Structure 1
Amino acid sequence: MTPMKNVDFYDVRVVDATTTSIIIDNGNVEEISVNYTRGGGIRALCGGSWGFTSADGYFNEKKALNAASELAVSMNSRNPKEKVDLKTVGKPTLKDLPRIKVDPRDISIEEKVALLKEMSKRAKLEGISSTSAVYSESEVKVCYNNIDGLDCEYELIRSGFAVSAVASENGIYQAGRESKFGVKGYEIFDETDALELATNAANEALQLIHAKPAKGGNMPVILDQELAGVFVHEAVGHASEADLVLEGSSILENMIGKQIASPLITIVDDPTLHEYGYFPFDDEGAQSQKTTIIKDGVMSSYLHSRETSAKLGGEPGHSRCQGYSMPIVRMSNTYLDNGKSTFEEMLEEIGDGMYLIGSRGGQVNTGEGIFQFNAEKAYLIEKGEITTLMRDVSLSGKTLEILNNVTHVGNDLKMNSGRCGKGGQLVPVSDGSPHICISKAVVGGV
């Protein structure tokens, strides 16, 4: 197969995916869907211009390559850009692939629905006004080939669930949520007590109804593993994505080799971990490998595609896409590595402050290096003791200031899973952290 001459590079990625989704709303089946998709993403590079086309179903690969090639050549002739070089990659080795214990395709829809209904029932405690239980599974096969003769493929199964409960009283609404997703089969329900988590979600919502609204201010804080993991992902992970660095949209531009954080801080992105963001090779065929973003407080590496690594140095392996869209630089499993402190030592150190738990989203500006996240709940810390439960609390600040204000890093790393959005695409990721203690942060409240 010979695409149009004058093309410097091309690749083809074919994806077969089956996704099952079940939603139970207030004990009733709201949705049961099984979707099968097949298609391909085809790229061609001419000079400094990428041509990209996607095709649904079974398609003529030669025609698709010619279409992408014509687009790249046309763009390059009309508006020539600086020539794009790509870092060379070898054939990836498929090793240590996740192995499922219970194939979710062997479990009937009826059995899955029954379990979700029971979860919804367990969450419907007195005072709970609404519940939701969601299950999803996906089986995906990815086949990749390129102009250099690279030809590789893998298959992967992901599954998981989420349950939420909303409590209401006197016009106040509060929610509790629990979830678990992974590169696992249906054994995820054997490894996690989903019914207990459903009750936990309900109890949290009920507790928050009677919690005091938080009062804001500057104070020392402890972040739990989930909120600290969200900070690591959103404020540090995205800023380390090399495409944003090249765009001038990252506070970490020109920071390689510089001390940018407390020496206690080591942040890693590792797609080889059997967490939700796992992949054996990325969507450019580059071998997945552990990348240390920050080592002992020193900026060590950005996350790269083949194009960005050729421009900035570093290793490729973080080019990902949703389905068969255009690949862009993405995280996988991003976490703050364990330190040596205990939670008790942090409480003793902090004296008076606040303990922030969980995440309800937020926003970050990677170019300016500022962020704002909403916690699920918080507790006052008074004289080293956890006291009053608080609700409606947020954390905000400057990324580099917070990184330098970390005084303790715990030894209790925990990962959480979800989906990360960028460029209109969602991909599975995990993020995590141990508990961390920050000497000074801006806490928002009412």
Structure 2
Amino acid sequence: MIQWSVLSSRTVEVALRGNSEEVNKNSSELRSVRVAGRRWGICSSSNGEFHELERNAARLAGGEGIKLSDAELAVGDFKMGKGSIDEVLALEILRDLRDNFSGLFEGIITFEECKREIRTSDGADAVETRIATDMNVSIAGRRVASIHTGVLGGIEELERKYELVLDELSSRFKALERAKFLNPFMRGFKFKVILSKESSCSFIHEIAHRLEGDLPMELRDGSALTIYDEPAGFGGYNFDDEGVLARKRKLVEDGVVICHLNTRESAFKLCEEPGNARGLFTIPKAFQTNLVVEKGDWSIEEMISETSEGFLAEGILRAEIFGEMIRISPELCWYIRRGEIQTPVLVNEIRIPASDALKRVVAVGKEMFERIGFEKGFPISEKSPPILIEATVA
């Protein structure tokens, strides 16, 4: 199988950093040919001819060998998001946010118009134009509070999130200013932890890494969590980077894994459906688009009232799987005692055994929160309600 691809992008970055106001622009176009042979052969260039790239990629690929699943391939023109960037308006939004705080402010608004063209020897022939805008803002006082948000569309769509960003950033900044370090005698013990906002989204993101079909890892059955991969959002697409039409897919149902994120190669091996391939200039990588957790019955107030001693986590500094442990470093935690919020505290890490992550879920909330981001250069997002888990606090 041979795939010919073109990726064109135009980016405008508007930034306000301290006493500096910046507008940076960039555009690029890359061509790629990928051949599935005895191994993957891939050649890309910003100005090379397709016939030269194809000849070199075929030489690298060798003979036949890699098996790919059948797939419903995309044909036609597709669009995601509409709008433009107004640099003056973007700077006004950032200035208005800055003027609400006394600390050191940094804000970046990035607009990207991206065009993907994919054609394959077995039938894909599609073009997608995607327009998205995201904003990353932080305010530094004694500690740093940050918010990252984004939309499919232009600056006008992003402006509608202004009040939400201001309220969230202000609330978190004030809490961080009075937060105390966690009592060292509490470190290393298990507690009930309510993961909320970015913290719950990060937890779901780390679970999804174990569902990547090209490197699936064990996830023992739980009971409470249902997770979808939904391509119609900030991190989505109409077709993946192998030209396979995108579909909503249920990955976990009531705590039980029923499907993986797949490329055509991993789908063939697992006898599942493809549609989650990322990367035009590398081996196709199985990866999420927009993860969505099915909301539960619990309000966050009920979760707090049912916690005799524990923590409510929000924001995210870092989340990763290290060894066999999911490690989440929240931006802020609230200490809970006898079912009531007590005081903001700083927690280094919340640790959950990765293979038991689904088993550790106690309850799922109602109020949805979306986190957007980029990983390996790919836009992604997660939508999750608060999740009550049992975890070790460090």
- Aligned counterpart, 1:442: 392
CA RMSD of aligned residues (A): 2.1
**Number of aligned positions between the proteins:** 390
Q: C-alpha separation between the residues in 1 aligned to 2:167 and 2:213? A: 42
Q: C-alpha separation between the residues in 2 aligned to 1:402 and 1:307? A: 27
| 308, 311, 318: which one aligns with 2:276 | 318
Letter in 2 for 1:443: V
C-alpha change, 1:153 and 1:209, in structure 2 (3 Å) is same
Q: Is the Cα–Cα contact under 8 Å of residues 43 and 281 in structure 2 kept in the other structure?
A: no
- Aligned counterpart, 1:61: 50
Q: Is the Cα–Cα contact under 8 Å of residues 78 and 128 in structure 2 kept in the other structure?
A: no
Letter in 2 for 1:390: V
- Aligned counterpart, 1:49: 39
Alignment of structure 1 residues 89-168 onto 2, 5 Å? 89-92=71-74, 97-100=79-82, 103-105=83-85, 107=86, 109-123=87-101, 125=102, 128=103, 130-168=104-142
Q: Is the Cα–Cα contact under 8 Å of residues 137 and 159 in structure 1 kept in the other structure?
A: yes
- Aligned counterpart, 2:177: 209
- Aligned counterpart, 1:363: 320
Q: Is the Cα–Cα contact under 8 Å of residues 341 and 411 in structure 1 kept in the other structure?
A: yes
Alignment of structure 1 residues 251-262 onto 2, 5 Å? 251-252=218-219, 260-262=220-222
C-alpha change, 1:207 and 1:341, in structure 2 (3 Å) is closer
Residue 380 of structure 1, CA deviation: 1.3
- Aligned counterpart, 1:228: 200
Letter in 1 for 2:69: K
Q: Is the Cα–Cα contact under 8 Å of residues 409 and 435 in structure 1 kept in the other structure?
A: yes
Q: C-alpha separation between the residues in 1 aligned to 2:197 and 2:370? A: 8
- Aligned counterpart, 2:384: 433
C-alpha change, 1:324 and 1:185, in structure 2 (3 Å) is farther
Q: Who wins on radius of gyration, i.e. which is larger? A: 1
| 28, 50, 65: which one aligns with 1:83 | 65
Q: Is the Cα–Cα contact under 8 Å of residues 193 and 312 in structure 2 kept in the other structure?
A: yes
C-alpha change, 1:295 and 1:400, in structure 2 (3 Å) is same
Q: Is the Cα–Cα contact under 8 Å of residues 26 and 120 in structure 1 kept in the other structure?
A: no
Query: TM-score by structure 1 length?
Result: 0.82
C-alpha change, 1:207 and 1:150, in structure 2 (3 Å) is closer
Letter in 1 for 2:144: A
Q: Is the Cα–Cα contact under 8 Å of residues 225 and 435 in structure 1 kept in the other structure?
A: yes
Deviations 1:239-274 (A, max 9, x none): 1111122xxxx234xxxxxxx333211111111x2x
Alignment of structure 1 residues 233-382 onto 2, 5 Å? 233-234=205-206, 236-245=207-216, 250-252=217-219, 260-271=220-231, 273=232, 275-321=233-279, 324-365=281-322, 368-382=323-337
C-alpha change, 1:287 and 1:21, in structure 2 (3 Å) is same
| 144, 147, 157: which one aligns with 1:188 | 157
Q: C-alpha separation between the residues in 2 aligned to 1:35 and 1:327? A: 26
Is it true that 1:38 corresponds to 2:29 in the alignment? yes
- Aligned counterpart, 1:394: 349
Q: C-alpha separation between the residues in 2 aligned to 1:96 and 1:324? A: 21
Residue 93 of structure 1, CA deviation: 6.3
| SS of residue matched to 2:241 | coil
| 7, 29, 32: which one aligns with 1:15 | 7
C-alpha change, 1:158 and 1:175, in structure 2 (3 Å) is same
C-alpha change, 1:408 and 1:149, in structure 2 (3 Å) is closer
Residue 338 of structure 1, CA deviation: 0.9
Residue 122 of structure 1, CA deviation: 2.5
Residue 218 of structure 1, CA deviation: 1.4
C-alpha change, 1:111 and 1:342, in structure 2 (3 Å) is closer
Letter in 2 for 1:17: S
| SS of residue matched to 1:280 | coil
Unaligned runs of 5+ in 1: 1-8, 77-81, 169-173, 253-259
C-alpha change, 1:303 and 1:184, in structure 2 (3 Å) is same
Unaligned runs of 5+ in 2: none
Query: TM-score by structure 2 length?
Result: 0.92
Letter in 1 for 2:27: Y
Q: C-alpha separation between the residues in 2 aligned to 1:94 and 1:264? A: 40
C-alpha change, 1:33 and 1:70, in structure 2 (3 Å) is same
- Aligned counterpart, 2:374: 419
Is it true that 1:405 corresponds to 2:360 in the alignment? yes
Residue 99 of structure 1, CA deviation: 4.2
Q: C-alpha separation between the residues in 1 aligned to 2:15 and 2:284? A: 30
Q: Is the Cα–Cα contact under 8 Å of residues 164 and 202 in structure 1 kept in the other structure?
A: no
| SS of residue matched to 1:141 | strand
Deviations 1:165-205 (A, max 9, x none): 1113xxxxx111122112122222342125x6347535533
| SS of residue matched to 1:91 | coil
